[in-house]
Every structure is written in structure tokens, then in C-alpha cells.
Amino acid sequence: MKLYYAPGVCSMAAHIVATEADIPLELVKVDIRKDPHLINDGRDLKRVNEKGVVPVLELDDGRTLTEGIAILHFLADKKPEAMLKPAPESFDHYRLHEWLTFISSELHKIFSPWLFHPEYGEDAANVARQKLRERFNILDKHFASETFLVGNRFSIADAYCFTIMNWSKGRNIDLGPWAHLSRYLSAIADRPAVRRAMAAEGLAI
């Protein structure tokens, strides 16, 4: 399988999950700084994904899967023995979906685009930062008593949360006031699979 990715963006969650589950992937780098986004062989990413964004998972039979959460579920289901998702009949199964939705709508979509496009203006960025602080409070309260987002195990939700929260560094957001959240992120960063995925993408640990 091939994972079309750009270093450090939301595609890194899929990379982390595949590494945790020991699923071999061929990494295909995409330059998202160019418009249109270009695959490393010079092709427009829209030739693989008409949406023009990463991540894209290309299966060995040529089918493609897009949207980060769908790809996370697919990879976790490929290796159920890695236990990256709770059992379908459990309440934690729904808790997982709850957190994935929160990360997608309340973190991912506030960071991006509001803090990645200066042309939107500083007022928009300040509103986004305030909204993020409120979401960080929710996470910090959770991690005051919990090690992971769901149950007592690392899951696809943790891979996604870490990936998005890692953007704080590049946006000059000091996470010092959220001690429990900071501890959680440090612990995730220390996982061998996370370190390998980040190193493969050329990112500082």
C-alpha cells in the first residue's frame, strides 16, 4: 500500500497507526506548499485524489481511500491484533468515535485553516487561539485522570490527537498552562512507533 503524505500534517496520524500496527507502507511525499499540490514525481495530487489533499491511501489493487479518519479505521481493522480500536460491541467503541469527532471538528478545523493562512488576518487567528484554549481545557481535564483518550490503551484517536496538537509548536502556542495535556503529548512522542514515523518524515522528535 502507498500513503500519500506531507511531513507533519494530518497524514502523519495514518503513518503513526501503520507503524504501531507494523503495516508496511510505501511513503509517497507530496509538496503541499505548491499550488496545485505536487506528488514527488511531478504529478498533480488531484490525479490520485480529486480533492487534492492528503492523506490518500492507495491499496495494492489500485483503489484509493481518502479522509484521515476513514484511513485510520481501515488500517486499525487490517491489524486487529494491534488493538488500536476498542471492541465493536463495547461502549468504548462509541467513545472512540466521540473523540475522533472532537479532534476533527474542534481541533483540526480550528488549527487549519485559521492559523495556517495569515491572509485571513490576525483577528481571525486570535479568535481561533481562544477557541483552541477552551478545547485544551477539555483535554487537560481528561488527562488529569486518564493516560489515553479511550480506555487504558493507545488508539487511533491518540495518533490523531498527537498529530494535530503537534502543530502547536509551529504556531507558537505555549502548552505550559495545560500540564496534564503536555504530559500526555510527551508520553505519546516517546512511543517508539511515533518516533520512527516522525523520523521517517524528517521531523524533529
> For the segment 145-168, what is each residue's pLDDT rounded down to a tens digit?
999 999 999 999 999 999 999 999
Could you give the domains of the chain? 2-82+194-200 (3.40.30.10), 91-191 (1.20.1050.10)
Confidence of residue 120 (pLDDT cuts 50, 70, 90): low
Query: What's the pTM?
Result: 0.96
Give percent above pLDDT 70 in the chain. 96
Mean pLDDT, residues 32-51 taken together? 95
The 3-class secondary structure across the chain, one letter per residue, is CEEEECCCCCHHHHHHHHHHCCCCCEEEEEECCCCCCEECCCCEHHHCCCCCCCCEEECCCCCEEECHHHHHHHHHHHCHHHCCCCCCCCHHHHHHHHHHHHHHHHHHHHHCCCCCCHHHCHHHHHHHHHHHHHHHHHHHHHHCCCCCCCCCCCCHHHHHHHHHHCHHHHCCCCCCCCHHHHHHHHHHHCCHHHHHHHHHCCCCC
Q: What is the mean pLDDT of the chain?
A: 94
Torsion of CA 99, 100, 103, 105, to 10 degrees: -110
Confidence of residue 203 (pLDDT cuts 50, 70, 90): very high
Distance, CA of 181 to CA of 196 (rounded, Å)? 22
User: What pLDDT score was predicted for residue 119?
Assistant: 65
Going 122 to 124 to 127 to 131, the CA torsion angle's sign is negative
User: What pLDDT score was predicted for residue 126?
Assistant: 85
Grid coordinates in use for 205?
A: 522528535
Distance, CA of 2 to CA of 128 (rounded, Å)? 34
